């Protein structure tokens, strides 16, 4: 939830690096992230020292071989750990210049040994970043069990890449980073702002990476997390983590759930939801401190740059102990101890095509069923990742994974085997079909979300599938346009409807489709910065404003309505008359001077008007000065926009009165005409101007479109036929076989009176007909005609949502047949007459 001002500051920061020659957006993001990380690192260090009594990471290091800055001892405690050998620390006085407090000053110093100047760029590249690359060793020396312990293997190749001749750019960038957090209070708010900035920067990545990874839209991530509803303490994994979006949003989900329990009334909630579902003001609950500090969040990626950025992103979001590691998760480097480990897996794996079979883990994936074959069943990464997730999940663990559409209907043996595994041996809870434009501008590939629970049963011959039926939902609108621009389009948004229907997973009634959406509204938020505190120090809402999030203006000033437009009308209505009275009072204040000017001037009308105008300008300047002191100018200038029209209108009204006064004063050129009475100007009129402008200052802030937590049924297009959004399909359903008889003749027909298939019938198929595959429990192809043709197994386990969409019949009205026949006869007569005329013309020419 970034204000327009902050967005502009971040854009300018991005532009600094982009214009300095960094053509790769990922490189620019990485460099900016380093600065953000260095700033956050000082806060993390202070917190771990205060809470855990650990030594500072900027302190003296044992056997230090790093180059030292002449100011490194500043702000650093020189005392050694108890029992330390002073000789081991003799070469190090600390690394105080690596603190953000020193970096932000941008000092140029002289090396006393070489007499060379140390510029800010030299300081970062030669002192700070070498220290950053040794962070793991430093953390090991300064304490165990802290949240930054395993950072070093990610930061070992962190280098500052801004050119040495870009010192001015560096100084501007450091100042820009510092300015972004000038008014942030608690670290939780700091982390939220860090996260918002990082997400804003990530939007600059416009193309997929070399391994096929691309940024998963955050609203899709949140949707998948809501489907699984992970709980604190559960072990969460993203095996293709990229920048950590799934893990970060999982922590936000947990914070949201604990900040406002499910039964919290809408009006009593602390958390607010942006229009796209982004939770704001989700607080850090004590129950989450342990969950976030333990190894509960794990991310793997095979791209080292992405791992480094992703790990820093998690730390910036307040997750102090992320297991975020570079690994080829499909390969042999992932230890077998990871199998059967995780409670929740969320993933959008890369769709890169094929993987070298020799690189794959030997036991995690099924083998090719050809005799004596030791090869894996497939080398297609999109299939292998689903099998990998099944392996890594603990029994009962659940996953939501994005797959390309081909996984759902592919005809290869591997495709069918994966679908058979999901349906017969595990519980495939749902398939949510996404529209093709969801991943624009990165790719236009059509995808779906698979949601499944690991059961791990062995489906033997004749056993019922572990998944009895599958719930399908067809998303056609996700809140954005489906072109490359992906502009906001809040409604209709099928994701809200899908989430509301997910818990019960029932099919839509084709005759009366119920479609639900949240309500949308706008709040105006305002940071409690120095200006706000100075102007409203006596306001209880400001005095007690929470430091952990930015409040809305109606929370700071309870007399204002929550709707910014209504709040503006309230202020305007209350202040309009006061402003007019001031301008008219200033007219009255100028009357004596105007009268004298008329008596003493050869041009009395001009002299009178000059006297009036001078006092009007004085009042206008007072309003202008007060506005410049109290109101926003460039961004979020709602107070100024509301005040300006009132000042203009009041000045116009005053001008009309001045015209009348000038006419009266100069009517006889003797100034004998007596003017009408005008309101008197308050003695302390300048203070009143300040009070009025202060009221308009209450309106400053930035508008954010929000959505309600609750959803309600909305009316679909009454003229369009009802179109079901969700439906269910049975995995295995037997066709009625009335001719079947049990061996003893006591049972007739395959199904009982209640419509359920008889166990004796399935045993007959399994043991006498041997209709099932011995390996996997699927019905053999020769016996598929025994199934209901609409069930999933009868269709090669095809999971395309459209395959099972119910046919909706719409009744339409037709004209009576007699009317249609008569109209056709009339048309025939017209054609015959036309042909006769044409024939006559042809014969006439002959």
* Per-residue pLDDT tens over the stretch 150-175: 444 677 888 888 888 888 888 899 99
Contact 615, 589 (CB under 8 A): yes
What are the residues whose beta carbons fall under 8 Å from the beta carbon of 766, sequence distance 6 or more? Answer: 461, 462, 772
Specify whether 610 is located in the same domain as 571: yes
Q: Is the pLDDT of residue 810 over 70?
A: no
769 occurs within a structural domain: yes
Q: Is the pLDDT of residue 515 over 60?
A: yes
Q: Is the pLDDT of residue 269 over 80?
A: yes
- Each as own residue / partner, the long-range contacts of residues 735-744 (CB below 8 Å, 24 or more positions apart, any chain) are 735/785, 735/786, 735/787, 735/788, 735/789, 737/761, 737/786, 740/764
Total number of domains in the chain: 3
Q: Is the pLDDT of residue 246 over 50?
A: yes
Predicted pLDDT of residue 158: 84
What are the residues whose beta carbons fall under 8 Å from the beta carbon of 4, sequence distance 6 or more? Answer: 635, 636, 702
> To which residue do tokens 């500052």 refer?
160
- The CA-atom distances, in angstroms, between 24 and each of 18, 305, 707 are 8, 12, 36
499 occurs within a structural domain: no
- Of the residues 700, 726, 744, which one is the last residue of a structural domain? 700
Residue 293: its H or E element = helix 286-293
229 occurs within a structural domain: no
Predicted pLDDT of residue 127: 94
- Of the residues 677, 700, 723, which one is the last residue of a structural domain? 700
- For 383-461, where are the E strands, in sequence order? 393-404, 427-433, 447-453
Specify whether 689 is located in the same domain as 602: yes
Specify whether 663 is located in the same domain as 770: no
Contact 228, 451 (CB under 8 A): yes
Nearest to 708, CA basis, from 268, 275, 281, 283: 275
Confidence of residue 19 (pLDDT cuts 50, 70, 90): confident
Specify whether 779 is located in the same domain as 826: no
- Name the burial class of residue 354, with classes exposed (0-12), middle (13-18) and buried (19+) by CB atoms within 10 angstroms of its CB: exposed
- In DSSP terms, 297 is beta-bridged to 236
In angstroms, the CA 119 to CA 70 distance is 13
Q: Is the pLDDT of residue 444 over 90?
A: no
- Of the residues 675, 700, 725, which one is the last residue of a structural domain? 700
Predicted pLDDT of residue 147: 44
289 occurs within a structural domain: no
Specify whether 685 is located in the same domain as 544: yes
Predicted pLDDT of residue 191: 64
- Which whole number is the average pLDDT over 224-250? 93
pLDDT tens string 408-423: 999 999 999 999 999 9
Residue 525: its H or E element = strand 515-525
Confidence of residue 146 (pLDDT cuts 50, 70, 90): very low
Q: Is the pLDDT of residue 145 over 50?
A: no
Contact 95, 75 (CB under 8 A): no
Domain with 834, as residue range(s), is 813-846
Report CA 296 to chain centroid distance, whole Å: 22
Specify whether 574 is located in the same domain as 613: yes
Specify whether 673 is located in the same domain as 535: yes
Specify whether 547 is located in the same domain as 591: yes
496 φ/ψ angles, rounded to the nearest 5 degrees:
-65, -40
In angstroms, the CA 252 to CA 760 distance is 52
> To which residue do tokens 């929740």 refer?
344
Specify whether 535 is located in the same domain as 672: yes
Predicted pLDDT of residue 235: 94
Give start and end residues of each alpha helix (H) in 239-278: 245-259
pLDDT tens string 363-379: 888 888 777 777 888 88
Specify whether 575 is located in the same domain as 681: yes
Predicted pLDDT of residue 644: 96
194 occurs within a structural domain: no
- Which whole number is the average pLDDT over 106-111? 89
Predicted pLDDT of residue 484: 82
Predicted pLDDT of residue 322: 77
474 occurs within a structural domain: no
Predicted pLDDT of residue 212: 45
More confident residue, 213 or 829: 829
Confidence of residue 310 (pLDDT cuts 50, 70, 90): confident
- Which whole number is the average pLDDT over 426-437? 95
User: Average model confidence (pLDDT) for the chain?
Assistant: 87
Specify whether 825 is located in the same domain as 751: no
Confidence of residue 470 (pLDDT cuts 50, 70, 90): very high
- Please state, for a pLDDT cut of 90, what percent of the chain lies above it: 45
582 occurs within a structural domain: yes
pLDDT tens string 560-619: 999 999 999 999 999 999 999 999 999 988 888 888 888 887 788 888 889 889 999 999
Confidence of residue 819 (pLDDT cuts 50, 70, 90): confident
Predicted pLDDT of residue 272: 92
More confident residue, 247 or 243: 247
675 occurs within a structural domain: yes
Specify whether 763 is located in the same domain as 675: no
- For 67-182, where are the E strands, in sequence order? 109-110, 117-118
Q: Please state which of the ranges 200-214, 233-247, 502-516, 589-603 shows the lowest mean pLDDT.
A: 200-214
Confidence of residue 205 (pLDDT cuts 50, 70, 90): low
- Which whole number is the average pLDDT over 197-216? 64
């Amino acid at each position: 939830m970034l204000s327009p001002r902050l967005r502009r500051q971040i854009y300018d920061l991005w532009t600094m690096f982009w214009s300095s020659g960094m053509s790769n957006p990922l490189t620019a993001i990485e460099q900016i992230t380093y600065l953000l990380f260095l700033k956050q690192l000082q806060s993390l260090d202070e917190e771990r020292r205060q809470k855990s009594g650990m030594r500072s990471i900027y302190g003296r290091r044992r056997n230090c071989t790093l180059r030292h800055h002449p100011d490194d001892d500043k702000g650093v405690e020189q005392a050694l750990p108890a029992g330390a050998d002073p000789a081991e620390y003799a070469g190090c006085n600390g690394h105080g210049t690596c603190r953000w407090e020193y970096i932000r000053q941008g000092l140029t110093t002289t090396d006393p040994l070489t007499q060379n100047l140390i510029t800010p760029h030299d300081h970062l590249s030669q002192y700070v970043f070498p220290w950053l690359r040794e962070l793991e060793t430093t953390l090991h020396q300064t304490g165990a069990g802290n949240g930054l312990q395993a950072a070093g293997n990610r930061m070992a190749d962190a280098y500052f890449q801004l050119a040495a001749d870009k010192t001015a750019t560096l100084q501007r960038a450091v100042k820009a980073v510092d300015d972004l957090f000038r008014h942030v209070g608690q670290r939780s708010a700091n982390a939220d702002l860090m996260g918002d900035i990082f997400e804003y920067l990530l939007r600059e990545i416009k193309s997929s990476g070399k391994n096929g990874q691309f940024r998963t839209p955050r609203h899709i991530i949140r949707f998948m997390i809501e489907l699984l509803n992970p709980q604190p303490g559960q072990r969460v994994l993203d095996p293709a983590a990229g920048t950590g979006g799934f893990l970060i949003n999982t922590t936000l989900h947990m914070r949201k759930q604990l900040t406002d329990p499910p039964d919290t009334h809408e009006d009593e909630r602390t958390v607010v939801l942006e229009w796209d579902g982004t939770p704001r003001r989700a607080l850090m609950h004590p129950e989450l401190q342990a969950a976030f500090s333990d190894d509960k969040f794990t991310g793997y990626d095979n791209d080292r740059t992405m791992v480094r950025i992703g790990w820093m992103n998690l730390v910036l979001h307040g997750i102090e102990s992320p297991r975020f590691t570079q690994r080829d998760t499909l390969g042999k480097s992932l230890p077998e101890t990871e199998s059967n480990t995780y409670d929740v897996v969320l993933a959008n794996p890369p769709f890169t095509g094929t993987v070298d079979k020799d690189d794959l883990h030997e036991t995690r994936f099924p083998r090719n069923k050809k005799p004596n074959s030791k090869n894996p069943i497939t080398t297609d990464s999109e299939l292998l990742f689903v099998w990998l997730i099944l392996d890594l999940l603990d029994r009962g663990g659940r996953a939501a994974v994005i797959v390309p559409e081909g996984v759902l209907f592919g005809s290869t043996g591997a495709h069918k085997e994966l679908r058979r595994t999901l349906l017969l041996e595990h519980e495939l809870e749902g398939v949510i079909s996404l529209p093709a434009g969801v991943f624009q501008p990165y790719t236009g590939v059509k995808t779906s979300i698979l949601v499944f629970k690991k059961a791990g049963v062995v489906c033997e011959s004749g056993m019922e599938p572990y998944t009895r039926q599958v719930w399908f939902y067809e998303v056609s609108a996700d809140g954005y346009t489906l072109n490359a621009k992906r502009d906001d389009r809040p409604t209709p948004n099928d994701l809200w409807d899908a989430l509301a229907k997910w818990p019960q997973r029932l099919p839509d009634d084709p005759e009366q489709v119920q479609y639900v959406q949240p309500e949308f509204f706008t709040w105006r938020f305002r940071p409690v910065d120095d200006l706000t505190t100075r102007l409203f120090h006596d306001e209880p809402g400001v005095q007690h404003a929470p430091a952990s999030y930015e409040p809305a203006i109606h929370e700071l000033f309870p007399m204002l309505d929550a709707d910014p437009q209504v709040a503006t009308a309230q202020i305007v209505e209350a202040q309009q008359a006061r402003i007019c009275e001031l301008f008219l009072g200033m007219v009255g204040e100028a009357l004596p001077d105007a009268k004298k000017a008329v008596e003493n001037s050869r041009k009395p009308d001009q002299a009178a008007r000059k006297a009036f105008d001078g006092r009007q300008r004085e009042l206008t300047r007072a309003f202008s000065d007060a506005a410049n002191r109290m109101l926003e100018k460039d961004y979020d200038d709602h107070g100024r926009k509301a005040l300006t029209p009132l000042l203009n209108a009041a000045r116009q009204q005053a001008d009309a009165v001045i015209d009348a006064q000038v006419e009266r004063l100069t009517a006889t050129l003797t100034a004998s005409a007596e003017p009408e009475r005008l309101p008197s100007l308050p003695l302390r009129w300048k203070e009143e101007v300040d009070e009025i402008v202060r009221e308009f200052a209450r309106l400053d802030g930035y508008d954010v479109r929000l959505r309600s937590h609750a959803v309600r049924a909305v009316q679909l297009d009454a003229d369009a036929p009802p179109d079901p959004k969700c439906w269910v399909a049975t995995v295995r359903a037997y066709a009625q076989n009335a001719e079947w008889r049990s061996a003893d003749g006591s049972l007739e027909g395959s199904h009982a009176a209640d419509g359920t298939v008889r166990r004796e019938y399935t045993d007959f198929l399994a043991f006498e007909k041997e209709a099932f595959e011995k390996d996997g429990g699927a019905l053999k192809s020769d016996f598929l005609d025994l199934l209901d043709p609409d069930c999933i197994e009868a269709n090669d386990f095809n999971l395309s949502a459209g395959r099972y969409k119910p046919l909706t019949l719409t009744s339409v009205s037709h004209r009576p047949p007699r009317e249609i026949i008569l109209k056709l006869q009339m048309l025939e007569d017209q054609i015959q007459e036309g042909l006769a005329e044409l024939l006559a013309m042809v014969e006439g020419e002959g």
